Amino acid sequence: MKKRVLGGVLALSLLMGTCGAAFSDIQTPELAQTAAVLKSLKIMEGDSGGGFAPNRSLTRAEFAKLIVTAFGVTDVTAYKNYTVFPDVPNTHWAAGYINAAVKHADIKEKHIIHGYADGTFKPDRTINYGEACTMLMLMLGYSIEDIGLVWPGDYIARAQSEGLADGASVMTASSVMTRADAAIMLLNALDTPGKEDGKLITSLTSSSDSEGSILLATSETDSDLRRNQARFYTGGEEPVVKTTDGVLDNALIGVSGTIYYSKTSPNTVLTIVPSGDGRSERHTVRRVQRDRIETDAGETIKPARDVLLYVNGAVAKFSETWFDLQNGDQITLHYDASGSLELISASARGVSQNSFVYGTKEAQAVPAGFTITKNGVRVSVDSLKQYDVVTLDTASKTAIVSDKRITGRYEDGAPSFKRPEKIKVLGQEYAVSERASGYFADFEAGDRITLLLDSRGAVAAAYPVSTVRAEMVGVFAELDGDEAKILLWNGETVRGKLDSQDDKKLFGKVVTVSQSSDGDLSLIERSSAGKPSGDWDIDAGTLGGKKVAPDVRVWEQVDAKAPLYETSVSALHMGTVPSSSIRTAVTDSVGNIVAIVLNDVTGDAWNYGYGYYKSEEIQTDTDFDGKPIYNNENTVTLRYYDYADKSEKELEYKVISRPDGVNGGPIGLPKGAEQNGDRQFLASIRLNRVDTVGLDAFDGADGVRTASGYYPLSEEVQVYLSGQRKFVTLNQAKADYEKFTLYAERTPDKGGKIRVITVS
């Protein structure tokens, strides 16, 4: 079956435009890809206006031309000097193609073109579905003996069984063929083995390889590539760069298929033909976390941790590079033939050429009739502040306002520091529009600058820190050795080496970030913004009397001293979060809420497993007489199953006293608290025994029926074999055991899930 699928949600942003870069009147990705391939093969071009005219009907003469060029015959001058059909004189524009279909040595034996009983061809008559199916089957080398005597029914049935109509409109024999349907069926025919020969596309190319390759970028989407270069993923750990015959159409970016090389230049890629195996989906990222991607369409994608992610020109495991994805990124999910997600590819970040900085001499007026939004919330023009970035989306008549800004040292610029297309500040790479690159003319490497970012995180302008400075506040979210990552309230990410070892103690807290003279990060703990009044109505998008941004960042803090843990709106089990469950809220310059910190609402901010307490008396010093001084050293160890590494692990905590409920059984301890190397008061959550059930109580991996109701299963439910004193997966336990004792942190109506299962 040759159907080429690009399913799912195609979220078109103002920066991407239409699906097919070559043809502005194509609105579907499938047709855009098909048209791009046929254009690369020099078979099917657009109309005189630069469009594809997908809905225009096709004449018999036009279809004859497609058939002839599909055999690689483009010069038909020699076939214009005589007449085969009386109604196709040598003055007819298609005479050469129609005559070549009858007389050319490579085509005539297939008997593809036939006239009517009166000897005419009727070149300007529209071609119908039955005729198109017949010509395509004859093109593949089949005859009436192979197909059947009933015309056109037998030809239509055989064409459909061969997959030639896959992806085309549903038609009857007399249905008029459009250019769109003709293109789809012709590419299917080119990619289908003939009766005796191989695929017809091989006659147009020198060779093919790398079946299952994915086009990741071209020189138009990635400034690291030279013109007529493209980057492909062909398996393995690194993408490869290949020379192309011209710039491959943007519609082919993200396509998984077979690479074909030019007949005249065998090392040059001519095109990539989408594969019928597997499928792809395109999405726009709204938010990304270590275990999920949320899209603008409201979908949640949960990649396995070893799924590969292509972003910023490199391929690595999702679990290792998920944080490089940003709000607004365009991603393509590539599924194999079995339906398993194998690769996520992120398009190079686009930059808008239609942005300006409000309140400066370069600023424009927001056009009359435009809706103004800031952080996704509708505002008035009076709400705009100096140095806000305004991007005009003329298609939707929307002015999209961003107050995102970053202050740091100018670390790198490419292709040059003075006129960059990409820069690096605070460990993060940013795209720079041609207009914005002019702001860097007077900057040198190492200068302290402030970047003004548009709503997608691209640089719209840059100023010396003496002109404007960013207040960078967010959560110290990750620590790897001395390397820290801070997630700012404005959605941006800061990475770098910590200036002081003492700053490690701020892990999980709200901090203000700055950059020291040597480029390291300096952190200062930030006090709470204060508790807002009122409930959070998620559906209405309000908290008390304030509006909540659609892409609000949500955190949980299970205890006043516990680290903050990022969650999401989709993880909340209720439509309204009561005021009693809200710790604080952060607002933008207009007063709309862009971040919310909750108490323990989802139950997901705990590490679950079996907890053990140990207290030892150890020598810590000696007195003046040389006698040893002893102190108690108290530690808690949490044993659990790590689903990422597929093995049992331990987390260790230094504590001042025994946490409540830690006695060698099921327990929950705050996520991130293990990063604190100092002695701490450690919060805990007791787990309640729900029930003991059999195998038939489980609803797959989703939930379980108990005497007190249905409970969802945690995605990382901890399963402990008490007899063997080890942790395994639930599937492993199901294979050998029949009785399961279930533990949850709370009831399902309050968001509770089965967190621990013991088996004996």
Burial (CB count <10 Å: 0-12, 13-18, 19+), residue 379:
buried
Torsion of CA 144, 145, 147, 152, to 10 degrees: 30
Split at pLDDT 50, 70, 90, the class of 431 is: confident
Output the pLDDT for position 582: 96
Output the pLDDT for position 429: 85
C-alpha distance from residue 195 to each of 102, 143, 198, 335 (Å): 20, 9, 8, 31
Taking alpha carbons only, the member of 377, 596, 390, 378 closest to residue 489 is 596
Helix (H) / strand (E) containing 619: strand 606-622
Q: DSSP labels for 119-166?
A: S---TTSBPBHHHHHHHHHHHTT--HHHH-SSTTHHHHHHHHHTTTTT
According to DSSP, residue 700 is labeled T
Split at pLDDT 50, 70, 90, the class of 19 is: very low
Strand 628-642's sheet: what is its strand order? 647-655, 628-642, 606-622, 666-670, 685-686
Q: What are phi and psi of 176, to 5 degrees?
A: -75, 135
The C-alpha atoms of residue 17 and residue 93 are separated, in whole angstroms, by: 35
For 186, the token pair is 């012709």
The C-alpha atoms of residue 329 and residue 284 are separated, in whole angstroms, by: 6
The C-alpha atoms of residue 197 and residue 216 are separated, in whole angstroms, by: 32
- The three-class DSSP label of residue 615 is strand
Longest dimension (CA), the chain: 124
Output the pLDDT for position 18: 36
319, 327 contact by CB (below 8 A): no
The C-alpha atoms of residue 130 and residue 146 are separated, in whole angstroms, by: 17
300, 293 contact by CB (below 8 A): yes
pLDDT at 13 over 50: no
319, 644 contact by CB (below 8 A): yes
Residue ranges of E strands in 426-535 = 428-431, 448-453, 459-464, 472-480, 483-488, 493-497, 510-515, 521-525
60, 127 contact by CB (below 8 A): yes
Taking alpha carbons only, the member of 667, 567, 593 closest to residue 290 is 567
Output the pLDDT for position 517: 85
Beta-strand relationship, 546-556 and 726-728? unpaired
Output the pLDDT for position 618: 77
The C-alpha atoms of residue 136 and residue 108 are separated, in whole angstroms, by: 14
757, 609 contact by CB (below 8 A): no
Split at pLDDT 50, 70, 90, the class of 412 is: very high
- The three-class DSSP label of residue 571 is helix
Output the pLDDT for position 22: 65
The C-alpha atoms of residue 327 and residue 305 are separated, in whole angstroms, by: 20
Count of beta carbons in the 10 Å neighbourhood of residue 683: 19
Sign of CA dihedral 477, 479, 482, 483: negative
Bridge partners (DSSP) of residue 292 are 289
For 724, the token pair is 């063997």
Peptide bond into 415 cis (omega under 30): yes
**Percent of the residues in the chain that have a pLDDT greater than 90, as a whole number:** 63
- The three-class DSSP label of residue 503 is helix
Helix (H) / strand (E) containing 752: none
Output the pLDDT for position 743: 98
Q: What are phi and psi of 194, to 5 degrees?
A: -80, 180
Sign of CA dihedral 116, 122, 128, 134: positive
According to DSSP, residue 532 is labeled P
**Percent of the residues in the chain that have a pLDDT greater than 70, as a whole number:** 96
The C-alpha atoms of residue 110 and residue 649 are separated, in whole angstroms, by: 68
The more confident residue out of 133 and 321 is 133
Q: Which fold has domain 472-525?
A: OB fold (Dihydrolipoamide Acetyltransferase, E2P) (2.40.50)
Output the pLDDT for position 353: 63
Sign of CA dihedral 17, 22, 27, 28: negative
Amino acid, res. 618: I
Output the pLDDT for position 3: 44
Q: DSSP labels for 7-19?
A: ES-----TTT-SS
Bridge partners (DSSP) of residue 484 are 479, 496
The C-alpha atoms of residue 396 and residue 14 are separated, in whole angstroms, by: 9
* pLDDT tens-digit map of 701-736: 899 999 999 999 999 999 999 999 999 999 999 999
The overall average pLDDT reported for the chain is 89
Q: What is the pTM of this model?
A: 0.71
Q: What are phi and psi of 630, to 5 degrees?
A: -110, 145
pLDDT at 385 over 60: yes
The C-alpha atoms of residue 395 and residue 397 are separated, in whole angstroms, by: 6
Torsion of CA 302, 304, 310, 311, to 10 degrees: 50
pLDDT, mean of residues 676-698: 94
* pLDDT tens-digit map of 55-92: 999 999 999 999 999 999 999 999 998 899 999 999 99
pLDDT at 15 over 50: no
pLDDT, mean of residues 490-508: 91
pLDDT at 742 over 90: yes
List alpha helices for 454-520, DSSP H.
Answer: none
Output the pLDDT for position 350: 58
The C-alpha atoms of residue 376 and residue 72 are separated, in whole angstroms, by: 52
Q: Give the list of residues 6+ apart from residue 137 with CB closer than 8 angstroms, or none.
A: 147, 155, 158, 159, 162, 164
Beta-strand relationship, 576-577 and 582-587? unpaired
* pLDDT tens-digit map of 608-647: 999 999 998 877 777 787 788 777 899 999 999 998 888 9
Peptide bond into 367 cis (omega under 30): no
pLDDT, mean of residues 655-674: 96
The C-alpha atoms of residue 605 and residue 557 are separated, in whole angstroms, by: 8
pLDDT at 4 over 70: no
397, 366 contact by CB (below 8 A): no
pLDDT, mean of residues 739-753: 96
Torsion of CA 733, 735, 739, 741, to 10 degrees: 20
Q: Give the list of residues 6+ apart from residue 326 with CB closer than 8 angstroms, or none.
A: 285, 288, 349, 456, 457, 491, 493
Q: DSSP labels for 188-223?
A: HHHTSB-SSS-BGGGGSEEEEEEEEEEEEEETTT-T
Output the pLDDT for position 11: 30
Bridge partners (DSSP) of residue 758 are 720, 741
Output the pLDDT for position 532: 85
The C-alpha atoms of residue 686 and residue 665 are separated, in whole angstroms, by: 10
